[in-house]
Amino acid sequence: MVEDPKWELAILATVQGFYEQLLQDSIEGEVPVPLGLEAISLQQADGDVQEILARMRRWLRVLDLAITPAMLRRAFTSDTDPEIAEAMLRYFTRRKDPGDVNRDKTDLVATFLYRHPRVLGQWERRGYGLDGSLPLSPFEIALIEILADTDVPSLPEEHVQLLWRFDPLQ
């Protein structure tokens, strides 16, 4: 899937800003940011976007090492902007890191989005998928919209069958 590099940079800049604020709160001080990746520099970025993206991805890998799932859990409150959570979900799913820590962070963000809908009662009615064939929960439709520009691998059939067991819990 071809993606707009400036859109990806906007997503990564949102994640970076959230991570840096989280670390600043944790260490009670400033986090030194690599030259050219400061918020003001990113807003005025006229140079090679691909180069900036490569540097940003490396910087976020470093920040990822410092941010634990527990830190994310504490940081996501009812006051957290859903746009930040959506950017975080896009970031984690694009990383394609099969590790437990990335999975836990992704799960925390998805759970936050489910527990804090943009509109109260948003998840109560069912809808249909883009192809119109399967009834989907509104949350599932929202996830499809959030991740529409992301290459997400399909679940193996045995996992899909396992998920259907949870349907009565709704």
Distances (CA, A) of 9 to 22, 51, 162: 20, 11, 36
Average pLDDT over residues 49-59: 90
- Specify the higher pLDDT residue, 52 or 135: 52
113-161 residue pLDDT tens? 888 877 666 666 655 555 565 666 766 666 666 666 666 666 678 777 7
DSSP β-bridge partners for residue 136: 127
Q: Judge whether residue 54 has pLDDT over 80.
A: yes
What does pTM read for this prediction?
Answer: 0.73
Q: Judge whether residue 76 has pLDDT over 90.
A: yes
Structure tokens belonging to residue 108? 């925390």
Structural element, H or E, at residue 20: helix 5-27
